[in-house]
Amino acid sequence: MSRTAMRTPDLDWTDPDCPVARALDLVGDRWSLLVVRDAMDGARSFTEFQRRTGIARNILTDRLRKLTAHGLLARRTAPSGRRQEYVLTDAGRALFPVILTLRQWGERHAFAPGEAHSVLVDQHGTPVPEVVPTGSDGTPLDADTTQVRKVR
């Protein structure tokens, strides 16, 4: 679903022209991103999402419905054939850099020095390097070196 409009039934955009605001309208509450995080970590069933997050059943039902309606998750029949499961779509998997950047920000700013926390590692067990946005010339970018420009 990249580069195409997300399915947005009955959604009133907070700021229709801002991509950040639209993204937050779709996944900007804490539970939605935690469901996406856990889907990236292999959760598939309602029970598994609830166990991992501790989310109330009614809220989880709402978030799974919303994430499915907006094309971030898809429902399919589990291999057992008895239950439905939730899997990330391409749009949902495309949130990986967002989750990674939030994780890395949290590692730096949400824990006291020496406080225990989880770390994301690659398939070899090596911690994932810090994400640093760069310009076309390789120069690191930040809020002081970028600006918003409207396109039509």
pLDDT tens digits, 53-76: 999 999 999 999 999 999 999 999
Question: Quick count: other Cβ atoms within 10 Å of Cβ 38?
Answer: 19
Q: How far is CA 64 from CA 89, 118, 151, in A?
A: 13, 25, 32
Q: How far is CA 106 from CA 11, 12, 37, in A?
A: 30, 30, 14
Mean predicted lDDT score pLDDT of the chain: 92
Structure tokens at 34: 């935690």
Class of domain 19-102: mainly alpha
pTM of the model: 0.86
Which DSSP symbol is given to 4? S
Q: How far is CA 121 from CA 18, 106, 126, 130, in A?
A: 33, 15, 5, 11
pLDDT tens digits, 110-151: 999 999 999 999 999 999 999 999 999 999 999 999 999 988
Those residues whose C-beta lies under 8 Å from the C-beta of residue 71, and which sit 6 or more positions away, are 1, 6, 7, 89, 91, 92
